[in-house]
């Protein structure tokens, strides 16, 4: 049988638009025709072929006597047949094929020599398979308890033993039931039950063990390594022991050991305290810089780089993507989306560890967009709704750059991401969609606005050139929108200007935003400060 022909008792009948197919006296679609179905075909011979005029599907029921179950070794596999225990079964389009503990597969996945169970039926001296289940030949059962030292979407390594994760693998949190695969993390203690087949270790169940709680207290903090003595490190002057169960991960490079750690490294450390002694469970090391938390809009996206707020951030194999706690794929990200990133600085590149979706950037719906009607110090009226504004409210301009709440103006068109707390409506994020020309941000190239260098170690210089005298305010915000520096507030007569940023300003490591406002224009520029 093909898309336009059927073979009946050795004769080929071609089907065309005039062919009528009947089942129980009613015309049906040709999709009802299947290999093995008994039919009566009528047609005519022309141009050396038989064209079917009518095909009648006979109502043939499979009786209990015609059903058959066969078990044995697969001895032959062809394009449309499988031979088991001497029985040749024809494969139909709806035949279900499964490999034990892997799941549903296609015919090419079956292997000669494997043990299989076939359920089918006999019709017109031919055997047809309804389902085929290939049994995996287990050479060794495995049960391992240990610390996760490496993990990917399809493998997990515990105590130097790597298991394959299949579609049939179950993930369990001890005493809590089934969980998603995304619950697995480096450094967790797990129990894996599985088996070895064809020299491959297959994980059947992965159970995440709860940390021991008897006389222990868990901790999780970030800081700087201030000392190293043997197997003990001090983080923010707090001593922590590294033992055989500790896992050290070098951000951007993968698993490491104690020799990779140096005084001055920034780390995130999880562990527990027992009998007043701190033990490290997992240590994530940032070799070259600081942890960076930033919210903004994706303006450019490529295979390995995302541009946010006009600054490039590099992805790597450890970058994770989330939407409301659920894992995303990189392919789900689009330009225009508002995201939060957690990143670090390595080898003169900013590398992203996590990307968290805040808003998909689709503001096409009218109900999403409203004009600002009133701005108060603790509330904002947008459309017909009044929202409470607090220190957690974040404001983004129409380029995705974080700005101060006080940079908003009446008549701006915005989208408000809201939250309800204690029966009050709060604005968690305010995103500018359209800015009136009178307050719209200008192109920095107009005044050649620069922060040199853009990544600061000790000191930097703000430079620009204006042609028209104006009152001006130059300020610096941190990535949370907090005012950090008042660089200048006064009258500029015109010409070239330079303002220094140095250690005396007391800026900590992180990302900052320079904001330069004149009487009728606003300019913004991001820069980074390292330790």
Cα separation, 287 vs 28, whole angstroms? 69
Q: β-pairing, 200-208 with 189-197?
A: antiparallel
**Among 488, 478, 483, CA closest to 510:** 478
**Burial (CB count within 10 angstroms: exposed 0-12, middle 13-18, buried 19+), residue 76:** exposed
Q: List Cα–Cα distances, 195 to 98, 134, 170, in angstroms.
A: 18, 16, 14
β-bridge partners, 220: 270
Q: Percentage of the chain with pLDDT > 90?
A: 5
Give the per-residue pLDDT at 110.
83
The mean pLDDT of 247-270, rounded to a whole number, is: 80
Alpha-carbon distance of 402 to 393, in angstroms, equals 11
pLDDT tens profile 387-419: 898 877 888 877 666 777 767 877 888 888 777
- Class of residue 350 by CB neighbours under 10 A (exposed 0-12, middle 13-18, buried 19+): buried
CATH fold of 366-434, please? OB fold (Dihydrolipoamide Acetyltransferase, E2P) (2.40.50)
Residue 515 exposed, middle or buried by CB count within 10 Å (0-12, 13-18, 19+): buried
Q: Which tokens in the block code for residue 322?
A: 């989330």
pLDDT at 93: 79
The predicted-structure confidence for 429-444, as pLDDT tens digits, reads as follows: 888 887 665 555 678 8
> What's the CATH fold of domain 64-135?
OB fold (Dihydrolipoamide Acetyltransferase, E2P) (2.40.50)
Task: Kindly tell me if the per-residue pLDDT of 212 is higher than 70.
Answer: no
Give residue 30's pLDDT: 82
Name the more confident of 172 and 115: 172
Question: Who wins on pLDDT, 381 or 32?
Answer: 381
In the chain, count of helices (H) and strands (E)? 0, 47
Q: How far apart are CA 156 and CA 163, in angstroms?
A: 5
Tell me how far apart the alpha carbons of residues 379 and 390 are, in angstroms, rounded to a whole number: 8
Rounded to an integer, the average pLDDT of 60-89 is 78
CATH fold match for the domains 64-135 and 444-529: no
Residue 363 is predicted with a pLDDT of 54
- Phi first, then psi: what are they for 505, rounded to 5°? -70, -15
What secondary structure does DSSP assign to 248-311, as a single string?
Answer: EEETTTEEE-GGG--TT-EEEEEEEEETTEEEEEEEEEESSS-EEEEEEEEEEE-SSEEEETTE
The answer, yes or no, to whether residue 65 has pLDDT greater than 70, is no
At 191 the pLDDT is 92
pLDDT of residue 206: 92
Question: How deeply is 18 buried, as exposed, middle or buried, from its count of CB atoms within 10 A (0-12, 13-18, 19+)?
Answer: exposed
In this structure, the strands spanning 460-466 and 450-452 are antiparallel
- The residue-averaged pLDDT of 332-356 equals 71
Contact indicator for 435, 395 with CB cutoff of 8 Å: no
The predicted structure's pLDDT at residue 507: 81
Structure tokens at 213: 């709680």
Rounded to whole angstroms, the Cα distance separating 8 from 241 reads: 78
- Domain 291-359 in this protein, CATH class: mainly beta
Hey, what's the torsion of the CAs at 180, 186, 189, 195, to 10 degrees?
A: 70
List C-alpha distances in Å: 80 to 75, 93, 417.
14, 10, 56
Provide the residue ranges of all domains of the chain, joining segments of one domain with +: 5-57, 64-135, 140-208, 225-286, 291-359, 366-434, 444-529
Tokens of 439: 């307050």
Q: From residue 42, give the alpha-carbon distance in Å to each of 34, 55, 123, 266, 505.
A: 17, 6, 22, 81, 93
Q: What is the model's pLDDT at position 385?
A: 82
Conformation bin of residue 361: beta by default, left when phi > 0, alpha when psi is -120 to 50:
left
- Flag whether pLDDT at 312 surpasses 80: no
Average pLDDT, whole number, for the chain? 79
What is the pLDDT confidence band of residue 64, given thresholds at 50, 70 and 90? very low
Residue 309: predicted pLDDT = 57
Query: Is the torsion defined by CA of 386, 390, 394, 398 positive or negative?
Result: positive
Half-sphere exposure of 484 (CA within 13 A, CB side): 21
3-state secondary structure of 108: helix
**CATH code assigned to 444-529:** 2.60.40.2550
CA distance 267 to 285: 5
Residue that the structure tokens 């009050």 belong to: 424
User: Using an 8 Å Cβ cutoff, are 333 and 323 in contact?
Assistant: no
pLDDT reading at 208 higher than 90: no
Q: What is the pLDDT of residue 3?
A: 82
pLDDT at residue number 503: 62
CATH class of 140-208: mainly beta
Say if residues 490 and 472 touch (Cβ distance below 8 Å).
yes
Quick check: pTM over 0.85? Answer: no
d(CA 102, CA 121): 26
Residues 6 or more apart whose CB falls under 8 angstroms from that of 239 comprise: 232, 233, 278
- For residue 324, what pLDDT band results from cuts at 50, 70 and 90? low
Identify whether the C-beta of residue 50 lies closer than 8 Å to the C-beta of residue 14: yes
Which of 345, 355, 362 has the alpha carbon at shortest distance from 301?
Answer: 355
Dihedrals φ, ψ of 211, to 5°? -60, 145
Q: What is the CATH number of domain 225-286?
A: 2.40.50
Note the pLDDT tens digit of each residue in 75-133.
889 888 999 888 999 888 788 888 876 678 888 888 887 878 899 888 778 888 889 98
């Amino acid at each position: 049988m093909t898309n336009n022909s059927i073979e009946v008792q050795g004769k080929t009948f071609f089907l065309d638009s005039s062919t009528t197919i009947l089942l129980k006296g009613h015309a049906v679609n040709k999709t009802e025709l299947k290999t093995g179905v008994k039919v009566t075909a009528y047609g005519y011979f022309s141009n050396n072929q038989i064209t079917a005029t009518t095909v009648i599907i006979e109502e043939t029921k499979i009786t209990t006597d015609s059903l058959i179950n066969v078990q044995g070794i697969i001895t032959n596999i062809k394009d449309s047949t499988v031979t088991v225990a001497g029985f040749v079964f024809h494969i139909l389009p709806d035949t279900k094929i499964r490999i034990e503990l892997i799941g549903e597969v296609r015919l090419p996945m079956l292997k000669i020599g494997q043990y299989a169970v076939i359920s089918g039926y006999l019709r017109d001296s031919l055997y047809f398979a309804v389902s085929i289940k290939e049994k995996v030949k287990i050479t060794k059962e495995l049960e391992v308890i240990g610390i996760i030292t490496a993990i990917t979407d399809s493998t997990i390594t515990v105590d130097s033993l790597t298991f394959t994760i299949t579609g049939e693998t179950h993930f369990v949190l001890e005493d809590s039931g089934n969980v998603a695969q995304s619950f697995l993390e480096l450094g967790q203690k797990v129990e894996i039950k599985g088996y070895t087949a064809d020299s491959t270790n297959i994980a059947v169940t992965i159970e995440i063990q709860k940390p021991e709680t008897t006389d222990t207290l868990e901790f999780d903090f970030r800081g700087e390594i201030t000392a190293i003595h043997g197997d003990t490190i001090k983080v923010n002057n707090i001593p922590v022991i590294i033992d055989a169960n500790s896992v050290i991960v070098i951000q951007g490079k993968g698993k490491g050991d104690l020799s990779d750690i140096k005084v001055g490294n920034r780390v995130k450390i999880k562990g527990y305290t027992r009998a007043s002694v701190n033990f490290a469970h997992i240590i994530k090391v940032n070799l070259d810089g600081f942890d960076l938390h930033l919210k903004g809009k994706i303006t450019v996206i490529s295979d390995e780089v995302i541009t946010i707020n006009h600054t490039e951030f590099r992805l790597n194999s450890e970058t994770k993507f989330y939407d409301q706690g659920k894992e995303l794929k990189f392919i789900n990200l689009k330009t225009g989306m508002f995201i939060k990133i957690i990143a670090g600085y390595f080898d003169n590149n900013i590398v992203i560890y996590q990307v968290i979706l805040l808003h998909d950037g689709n503001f096409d719906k009218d109900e999403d967009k409203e004009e600002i009607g009133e701005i108060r110090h603790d509330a904002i009226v947008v459309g017909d709704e009044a929202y409470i504004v607090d220190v957690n409210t974040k404001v983004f301009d129409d380029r995705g750059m974080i700005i101060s709440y006080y940079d908003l103006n009446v008549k701006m068109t915005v989208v408000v991401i809201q939250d309800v707390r204690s029966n009050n409506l709060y604005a968690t994020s305010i995103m500018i969609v359209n800015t009136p020309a009178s307050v719209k941000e200008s192109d920095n190239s107009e005044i050649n606005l620069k922060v040199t260098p853009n990544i600061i170690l000790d000191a930097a210089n703000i430079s620009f050139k204006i042609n028209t005298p104006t009152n001006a305010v130059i300020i610096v915000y941190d990535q949370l929108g907090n005012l950090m520096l008042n660089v200048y507030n006064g009258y500029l007569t015109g010409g070239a200007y330079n303002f220094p940023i140095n250690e005396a300003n007391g800026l900590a490591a992180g990302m900052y935003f320079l904001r330069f406002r004149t009487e009728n224009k606003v300019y913004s520029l991001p820069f980074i400060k390292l330790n």
